[in-house]
Structure 1
């Protein structure tokens, strides 16, 4: 008689069922390094997917930082195919930074995983972080690291490659020792990366420290999410009582970047908001305008001048993300996109009428199209399909979409019913409007 699954396996399977679609042809992606944690996740995912009628795609990233890494990829492929999963290998190419190599490698890994997952039609990537990873991360944060907290359900940290993708970590309450015992019971092997014990790296030092003290740090809870009143295209409206986590996400999404604000700068903005003062500030490439009860976050158009941004060509029929905030698809060759700043006078009267209700900052940060003659500017719209990405991205960041089906709806341009701030959206003049007036079908 077979032994019942360990409790952590039952809990992990339940997390997969709670978040993922069943009986779907869409692949379930597993990030497979070949180490014990990810191989255990692969076994767990294949068991679940086989029962649910879904294919599994394992993705292995070769960072080319170890002479044995190519061999590790071969072993990872063998492990995946032995279980009936598809597999693809990805390689990090290009220059390596002189400092901050682990962070650069982590970002490169996420970019490669996101690109491959999107091309495969996936919406969710499974990662094998464990309770030990949480403990190590919390210790590193306590020592001054700016690592983000590990959450079971979170958006891909890279942008725009990770748009519409969520990360699911079903093993956050499992211990590494449990995973390896599980693999031994299945006669499965795994790779041990020597970098995990290399004291040159902060995580390896944290791992040694925790092993020496036999302590486990509990994860700090996520901050609350309140104070987002609505989004109109690329303009976010906030309450003065907005929470730190919501404000941080609003700044990143409105600014179109990836890097969240530093804690002290975020705290200073929150203090000014709470005080009720009128002010304008710039952070993360975003502009905060607070006047009375109206608080709006938009792209800071001065950044375009500071960075001397060049026109971005729009390939025929290919979705192109501009400035991290807008998706543009051109039906003809020859179009490029530029910011509206410095070009408003050249727009047609109808185009200027569209922009008139917006604040000057919001107007100047809108995408404008040029073709052939550099002075022939038109506002991005129906001719070249334009879609603002800010609202959907913010909803993903603030737990507004809780299931894989929500992501599928989002890809089709529909915001799900449990969208975090769907109860009210702001019109261009700041007045609230009911959702049925603005809901996109």
Structure 2
């Protein structure tokens, strides 16, 4: 127990139980990062963990987005509080130009990018965030308003763990704990927190939903239903992963051929095909409700449980063609843009390939050829002109595997769909199967052991 922890008021019993269970389930003894804004939730998480772990096991990380005049001073206040606890603290600043639109999304992406870089540099097992049961209720209320169907994926709620950019596990150990419990813990220890003024701004949907929930608390059955949906989606992801491993192969140009064994069942086949559409299409968003319904109907027809299934189907920027008892899935031949990289720059082309320009002097242009599956082609940018006849013009057909990734002054690596950017823990088995299929880097397992049993407020529970 940290020095002085025995003199502090005890933790609320449910908070102590939840965090103790979480710490016992950890499979990694490296230090843990804690994202701390100075608000009640994150400060409560940090101080509670400081009561249970030695200081060397914790690193507090504050992201200063620079979007409010008070943000720098708030970061300094957090640093002072960490100093009083004997904890290491780092402020991560978002520098550089800001977009003229989509600022909140850009700030969120920058936050996880900064946290991921810090976690790698500091050798952290994961970064913990202080999402609470209140956050879970608010999220479910917002998603239900947009997608009232009980089967909607979003109604699984906030997952207890998410992998960002294939490298940073973000863990959420407080999804069972109320904000009131956390604030009672802070008040008992006379620890002041910072109130972000945006949390009271009714222009934001979450603020309005929070006010409505305070007027009439969420039904516990909603949390239980969310946990059930998440557990069911986890089981389906594992079954779909097994289906892909047994029935899919990559053909020339990156297109995928997969069998349609009736014994796999329509739900598993549909889940597997939806993942392959994401992989081959590279779309920024998953299929909408209409797209999902179209795919389900087609699968029933293809395996003989329905009628009128077309032999060719386009969904999520992917082209599906029936060939006997199998499907061939490839990127459709439209909307294929050009990516221009500065010397030393990097970017994602078509949502499917991560490209880094290793040349420090010449730009790189990534375009598309006419091969099946639409893999990328590469050319050097000489004064803005694509030199298609030069020796630098190369096909990327054999540049996808890690051991063959460097060629001609650039690196091109296949991505495993949206999972390469953001991966909820219950979808991890399916993402692994996609990565193995196309030979890209696999995803690190979560550093905490989960069971398959659903809880009343989380997607899965700790063992």
TM over 0.5: yes
Tell me the CA shift for residue 42 of structure 1. 1.9
Work out whether 1:215 is the aligned partner of 2:231: no
For 2:42, the equivalent position in structure 1 comes to 38
Alpha carbons 2:34, 2:58 under 8 Å: kept:
no
What is the aligned residue count?
A: 373
For 2:190, the equivalent position in structure 1 comes to 187
Tell me the CA shift for residue 123 of structure 1. 5.9
Post-superposition CA distance 1:47-96 (Å, at most 9, x none): 55537x535241324351x4433332222332334331221232375145
For 1:187-336, list aligned pairs within 5 A.
187-216=190-219, 217-218=222-223, 220=226, 221-222=229-230, 223=233, 224-225=236-237, 226-228=239-241, 229-230=244-245, 241-242=267-268, 248-276=274-302, 277-304=309-336, 307=337, 309-312=338-341, 315=344, 321-328=348-355, 334=362, 336=364
For 2:33, the equivalent position in structure 1 comes to 29
Q: Give the Cα separation in 2 of the matches to 1:59 and 1:257.
A: 32
Work out whether 1:62 is the aligned partner of 2:62: no
Tell me the CA shift for residue 133 of structure 1. 0.8
Where structure 2 has 5 or more consecutive residues not aligned to the other structure, the ranges are 1-5, 261-265, 303-308, 430-439, 447-463
Q: Give the Cα separation in 2 of the matches to 1:237 and 1:209.
A: 49
Work out whether 1:370 is the aligned partner of 2:383: no
Alpha carbons 1:249, 1:397 under 8 Å: kept:
no
For 1:12, the equivalent position in structure 2 comes to 19
Alpha carbons 1:337, 1:367 under 8 Å: kept:
no
For 2:395, the equivalent position in structure 1 comes to 379
Q: Give the Cα separation in 2 of the matches to 1:284 and 1:119.
A: 37
Higher relative contact order, structure no. (Cα contacts within 8 Å, ≥ 6 residues apart):
2
For 1:67-82, list aligned pairs within 5 A.
67-82=69-84
Q: CA distance change for structure 1 residues 21 and 291 in 2, over 3 Å: closer, same or farther?
A: same
Compute the TM-score of the two structures, normalised by the length of structure 2: 0.67
Tell me the CA shift for residue 211 of structure 1. 0.8
Compute the TM-score of the two structures, normalised by the length of structure 1: 0.70
Alpha carbons 2:132, 2:177 under 8 Å: kept:
yes
For 1:25-174, list aligned pairs within 5 A.
28-47=32-51, 50=54, 54-62=57-65, 64=67, 66-83=68-85, 84-91=87-94, 94-97=98-101, 105-118=107-120, 120=122, 122=124, 124-144=126-146, 148=154, 149-156=157-164, 162-174=165-177
Alpha carbons 1:80, 1:87 under 8 Å: kept:
no
* Secondary structure of the structure 2 residue equivalent to 1:163: coil
Q: CA distance change for structure 1 residues 399 and 213 in 2, over 3 Å: closer, same or farther?
A: closer
Tell me the CA shift for residue 214 of structure 1. 2.8
Q: CA distance change for structure 1 residues 243 and 16 in 2, over 3 Å: closer, same or farther?
A: farther
Post-superposition CA distance 1:117-164 (Å, at most 9, x none): 4555556332211111111111112222799431101233xxxxx232
* Segment drifting more, 282-291 vs 329-338: 329-338
Q: CA distance change for structure 1 residues 283 and 178 in 2, over 3 Å: closer, same or farther?
A: same
Point out the structure with the larger helix share: 2
Tell me the CA shift for residue 205 of structure 1. 1.1
